[in-house]
Structure 1
Amino acid sequence: MKPFDLGELFLLAAIWGASFLFMRLGAHEFGPVAMAALRVGGASLMLLPLLAMRQGLQELRREWRALLLIGLLNSAIPFALFSFAALSITAGFSSILNATTPLWGGLIAWLWLGQRLTPLRSLGLALGFAGVVYLAWDKAGFKPGADHAAEIRAVWAVLACLGATFCYGLAANFSKRYTAHIAPLTVATGSQCYAALLLVLPALWMWPAEPPGAQAWASVTALALLCSALAYILYFRLMQRIGPTNTIAVTFLIPVFAVLWGYLFLGEVFTGQMAAGCGLVLIGTALALGLVQRR
Structure 2
Amino acid sequence: MSASSLIRLIALAALWGGSFLFMRVAVPSLEAVPTAVMRGLFSALGLGMALWAMGYRPRLGRYLWPLLLLGVINSGIPFLMYALAAQVLPSGYSAIFNATTPLMAVVVGALFFAEGITAARVLGVVLGIGGVAVLAQAGPLELTPAALGGIAACFAATVCYAFSSFLTLKLAGTHAAVDMRAAVFISQLGALVVLLPAFCVAWWLEPGMLSQLVQAPLLAWGNVLLLGLLSTALAYVIYFRLIADEGPNKALTVTFIVPVFAVLWGWLLLDEPLSAAHAAGGGLIALSLWVVLRSKTQ
Same-fold status (TM-score > 0.5):
yes
Query: Could you tell me whether the CA contact under 8 Å between 1:25 and 1:216 is conserved in 2?
Result: yes
Question: Measured at CA, do residues 124 and 246 of structure 1 come closer, stay the same or move farther in structure 2, by a change above 3 Å?
Answer: closer
**Alpha-carbon displacement from aligned partner over 1:214-266 (angstroms, at most 9, x marks no partner):** 221111111111111122234445667x7458765643432222111112222
SS at 1:156 equivalent: helix
Corresponding residue of 1:170 = 163
User: Relative to structure 2, which stretch is displaced further, 72-81 or 133-142?
Assistant: 133-142
**In 1: Cα distance, 2:141 partner to 2:130 partner:** 16
**What do residues 275-295 of structure 1 show as CA deviations (whole Å, max 9, x unaligned)?**
6666666655665x46458xx
Contact 2:82 2:157 in 1 (8 A): yes
Cα distance in 2 for partners of 1:27, 1:38 equals: 11
Q: Give the TM-score, by structure 2 length.
A: 0.78
Q: Which residue of 2 aligns with 1:156?
A: 149
Q: SS at 2:57's partner residue?
A: coil
1:65 counterpart residue number: 65
C-alpha deviations, 1:98-154, integer Å up to 9, x for none? 222222111100011222212343344455556667777999986xxxxx7xx3322
Post-superposition offset of 1:50 = 3.6
- Which shifted more, 77-86 or 168-177? 168-177
Partner AA of 2:154 in structure 1? C
Structure 1 residue aligned with 2:225: 221
Q: What residue identity is the alignment partner of 1:210?
A: Q
Q: 1:255 aligns with which of 247, 255, 259?
A: 259
Count matched residues. 281
Matches of 1:290 and 1:14, distance apart in 2: 18
Deviation, structure 1 residue 42: 0.9
2:183 counterpart residue number: 187
- Cα distance in 2 between the residues matched to 1:246 and 1:155: 29
**Equivalent AA in structure 2 for residue 196 of structure 1:** L
**Structure 1, unpaired ranges of 5+:** 143-147
Tell whether the 8 Å contact from 2:93 to 2:136 is kept in structure 1 after alignment.
no
- d(CA) in 1 for partners of 2:10, 2:284: 22
For residues 5-16 of structure 1, the aligned pairs below 5 Å read 9-16=9-16
Residue range with higher mean Cα deviation, 77-86 or 126-135:
126-135
Taking structure 1 as reference, are residues 171 and 237 closer, same or farther at Cα in structure 2, changes over 3 Å only?
A: closer
User: Which shows bigger deviation, 217-226 or 200-209?
Assistant: 200-209
Q: TM-score, normalised by structure 1?
A: 0.79
Secondary structure of 2:212's partner?
coil
CA contact (8 A) 1:140 1:155 kept: no
Provide the residue aligned with 1:32 in structure 2.
Answer: 32
Match of 1:196 among 192, 198, 207: 192
Corresponding position: 1:83 with 2:87 = no
Residues 118 and 11 of structure 1, relative CA distance in 2, 3 Å threshold = closer
Question: Aligned-pair RMSD on alpha carbons?
Answer: 3.3
